[in-house]
Amino acid sequence: MASAANNPAEAAISAEHLVRHFGKFTAVNDVSFRVEKGEIFGFLGPNGSGKTTVIKMLTGLLPLSEGSAYVEGLDVRSDSEAIRERIGYMSQNFSLYFDLTVAENLQFYGRVYGLDPARLKRRLDEIVELNGLGPYLNRLSAQLSGGWKQRLALGCAMLHEPKLLFLDEPTAGIDPVARRQLWDLLFELSGHGITFFVTTHYMDEAERCSHVAYIYYGKLIADGTPNSLRELPDVQPPGTMRIEISTPEVTRALRFARQIPGIRSATIFGQSIHALVEDHFNLDDLREQLLKNGIAVAEIRPLAPSLEDVFVELTNKHQALLETTHV
Amino acid sequence: MFDSFRGFGAIFYKEALHVRRDAGTLFFSLTMPLLQMFLLGFGVDTNIRQINTVVYNADGRRESRELIDRMKNSDTFHVIRYVENDHDLNDLIISGNARVGIKVPVDYSDRLIHNMSAQVLVLIDGSDSSVAGQAINVTTAIGLDESLRRVLQDRSTFAVEMRPKLLFNPDSRSPNFFLPGLTAIMLLNVTTFLTAFSIVREKERGTLEQLFVTPVRPYGLLLGKLLPYLGIGFFELCLILTFMRFLFRVPIHGSVLLLALLALPYLFAALSLGILISSKANSQAEAMQLAFLPILPSVFFSGYIFPRETMPVIFKPISYMIPATYFINITRGVILRGAGIKHLWTDGLALCIIGTILLFIAARRFQKKVIMA
C-alpha cells in the first residue's frame, strides 16, 4: 500500500478502530475505513446498525468511546470546531425551519456560517441556480414537496462551500423522480471536487457510489468499490456461479431449490430467485426438476451478483458467525 | 471570548422571524396574563367584610340589642338570621350558611346592671383562617371597648391610645396588594414558556442537532434565543404596568425607570429557567409539564400571597432560590413603598446571580448534550 494512502491528512475521512458504547450496548464496534477526496462514499446497513452513530461521531455530535478519526485532516477528538467549518451535514429529517421561507432558511444558515454579505449573496445565487430553487424563494418551506425540501436542505448544508458533505438518508421518503434528480445533482457537485458521505437503503443508489461500505450491527463487514465487492470470495466463492430463476411461484420454488444438492444458497428477489450454485451445475436439469414438481419456470440464466446479493451473502455469513460465537 | 458567542446574530435574526410569523401565539401569550390580571384585580378582595352571622339573643333587652348593633356597625358582621335556640344556632354554622354565631345569655343585662362580668359566646367557623382571625379580632375589640366604656365614664382619659396608620396602601385596596406581585408571576409565565418552547420545538424538528454541526457556539445559541424573548417580556411588563396604573388605579410611588431596570435581571433569570427546562425536555408536552413546576413555588413561597416571615424554617431557603421572591420585593418596593435603588440593589444582584447560574448550567447541559443515534 502506498504511503500516501496511510496519511490521514490526504483523505477526506480516515477512521481507525472507531468504537461507541451506549451503556452496555456497543453501537459501533471497531470500525475502520477511509474515504478519499472527491469520492461518493455510500454507507449502507440495516436500520439501527450504527450508520447515524458513525456520522455523529465524525461530525463531532458524539464523542468517540475508542479509536481515532480524521476529517479533512483534522482530529475529530480535538478539532471538532474547525471541522464544523469545513463540512456540511444534512440529517434524515431535512432540518429546516418550516415557518420560514426558502430564502430565509438559506439566509439563516449563511449567517450561521458567518459569510460576509458579498459572499453570502454570491453563494445564494450559485445555490439557487444549481438547485433550481429560484421560483420558490418566497414560499414557506413547509409548503414545499419532499424533493424540494431535500434540495433546500442540501442548499443550506453547502452554503459555506464545504469540501465534505454528510447526507444521512437524503432520499428517504421522496419520490423516484426527485430521487434521481438529487443523485444527478450529487454527481455534478462531486465533479467539482466535493466529497459525499451518503447513507441509503436503496441498492440502486449504492450502485452509483464510487465506494461503498456495509455496516451490520456495529461491525463493518464490507468496504470497497461496488465491483470489487462483487468479486469478494465470500460472495463468489471459487467454483461457483450465480443464477437467476424467474418463476411465478417464488415461495414454492425457493423451498424446493433449497433442497437440491449443488445449490449453496437461494434468496427471493421480487419475481425471481437468486441462487449460488456449483460450477458444474446443470441448468437444464434444474428446470426439469422444477417442472416435474409443477413449478412453472419462465427463465433460468447466469447472473452477475448485484450489490444486494453481496450484502445478503455477507449478512448471512456474518449472522452465522455471530451465532457460532455466541453459542 | 467573542468566539464562544458565535452564531448569536444569526439565531437572533431567525428567532425574530419566528416570532413575527407566529403572531397568534405571541398575541395569546401576551393577553393571557392580562386576563389573569382582570380576574384578580376586579374579582378578589382580601379585606374581610360582612361575614355571615347568626344571632341568638336570649336576653333581648336594651343592653343586649345595643351590643348586637355595635357588632353590625363594625362592617365585619352581616346578620343573616336571628334564632331562638342553641340548636338552630349550631345548625346554621354547620351548614355553612353562617360563619359566626353570637349567643347573648339570658342574664346579660342583669349582670351588667349589677356590675358583674357578662359573657357573650362567639362561635367561629375556623375552616378559613383569615375569616376566623378577623372575627376574633373584631369581637375582642368590641368587648374591650364596651368594658372600657363602662369602667371609664369619661372616655378622654385613656392612659394609652394606639393610633395605627396604614402606610402605602391607606385604603387597603386589594389591587394594590395583588397586582404588583402578580406582575412577577405573569412575567415568569410568559418568558419561561416562550423560551422553553422555542428550543424544544427545534429539538423535535431536528434543527437543534443541525445547529450543533455548525460553528454556532452554545452561548451564541442561548443568548440568541434569550434576547428576543427578553424584548417580549419587557413589552409585557410595560403592558401590565400601564393597565395596573390606569385601569386599576394603583399609584406608582417610586421610579418606573428603576422598576424597568430591575425587571431586566428578573426576565434574564426567568428566561434562563426556560432554557434550562428546554435542556431537559424532549417534547413540547414535556416542556409544558416542566414549565408549570416553578409556577406553584413562585406563588406560594415568594411572599406573593402568604408572608415569607411565617414560613417554616426549612422552606426559607427555598424562597431565597425563587426569582419571584426578589422581584415581588422589587415591584412592591417601587410601586407601593417608593423604594429606591439603595433599598433594592441586593434584590437585583441576587436575580443576576440566579440568572447567570441557571444559564451556565443550561449551557453546560447543551455542550455535553449527547444525541443518541
The pLDDT mean for chain B works out to 86
**Range ranked top by mean pLDDT from B80-84, B126-130, B306-310, B314-318:** B80-84
Mean pLDDT value of segment B19-48: 84
pLDDT of residue B53: 92
Kindly state whether residues B59 and B149 are assigned to the same domain.
yes
| Domains of chain A, earliest start first | 3-225 (3.40.50.300), 237-304 (3.30.70.100)
Which CATH number is B116's domain given? Answer: 3.40.1710.10
pLDDT of residue B157: 67
Which of A1-10, B78-87, B199-208 is the least confident region? A1-10
Among candidates B6, B213, B370 on the partner chain, residue whose Cβ is nearest the Cβ of A89: B213
pLDDT of residue A150: 86
pLDDT of residue A176: 84
Q: Which of A30, A45, A52 has the alpha carbon at shortest distance from A311?
A: A45
Kindly state whether residues B203 and B301 are assigned to the same domain.
yes
Q: Is B162 part of a structural domain of the chain?
A: no
| Domain limit, last residue, from B157, B192, B219 | B157
Kindly state whether residues B180 and B152 are assigned to the same domain.
no
Residue pairs between chains A and B whose CB atoms are closer than 8 Å: 75
A165 contacts in B (CB within 8 Å)? none
Among candidates A22, A98, A113 on the partner chain, residue whose Cβ is nearest the Cβ of B214: A113
State yes or no: pLDDT of B302 exceeds 50: yes
B19 contacts in A (CB within 8 Å)? none
Give how far A20 is from chain B: nearest CA, Å.
Answer: 11
State yes or no: pLDDT of B336 exceeds 50: yes
Among candidates A50, A60, A111 on the partner chain, residue whose Cβ is nearest the Cβ of B10: A111
Instruction: Count up the domains in chain B and report the number.
Output: 2
**DSSP secondary-structure letter at B106?**
T
Kindly state whether residues B32 and B140 are assigned to the same domain.
no
Cβ <8 Å between A108 and B13: yes
pLDDT of residue B56: 92
Q: Are the beta carbons of B356 and B265 closer than 8 angstroms?
A: no
State yes or no: pLDDT of B266 exceeds 80: yes
Give how far A34 is from chain B: nearest CA, Å.
Answer: 21
Kindly state whether residues B274 and B334 are assigned to the same domain.
yes
Kindly state whether residues B127 and B186 are assigned to the same domain.
no
Give how far B195 is from chain A: nearest CA, Å.
Answer: 16
Among candidates B22, B206, B214 on the partner chain, residue whose Cβ is nearest the Cβ of A112: B214
pLDDT of residue B354: 95
Interface residue A22 vs chain B (CB under 8 A) = yes
Interface residue A63 vs chain B (CB under 8 A) = yes
State yes or no: pLDDT of B369 exceeds 70: no
Kindly state whether residues B215 and B342 are assigned to the same domain.
yes
Kindly state whether residues B62 and B180 are assigned to the same domain.
no
Kindly state whether residues B127 and B274 are assigned to the same domain.
no
The residue that leads in pLDDT, A238 or B140, is B140
Interface residue A149 vs chain B (CB under 8 A) = no
pLDDT above 70 as % of chain B: 96
| Domain limit, last residue, from B103, B126, B157 | B157
B22 contacts in A (CB within 8 Å)? 99
Test mutation, A112, A169, A197, chain B, max B CBs within 10 A: A112
Kindly state whether residues B256 and B275 are assigned to the same domain.
yes
pLDDT above 90 as % of chain B: 21
Where in the sequence is the domain holding B86, given as residue range(s)?
51-157
Give the pTM: 0.76
Q: Is B337 part of a structural domain of the chain?
A: yes
Q: Is B264 part of a structural domain of the chain?
A: yes
Q: Is B20 part of a structural domain of the chain?
A: yes
Q: Is B22 part of a structural domain of the chain?
A: yes
Kindly state whether residues B148 and B184 are assigned to the same domain.
no
Kindly state whether residues B176 and B310 are assigned to the same domain.
yes
Q: Is B237 part of a structural domain of the chain?
A: yes
Average pLDDT of adjacent 10-residue blocks, chain A of 327 residues: 58 87 85 88 86 87 86 85 87 83 90 88 87 86 85 88 89 82 87 89 84 87 82 76 83 82 82 83 79 80 80 80 67
pLDDT of residue A4: 47
Give how far B194 is from chain A: nearest CA, Å.
Answer: 16
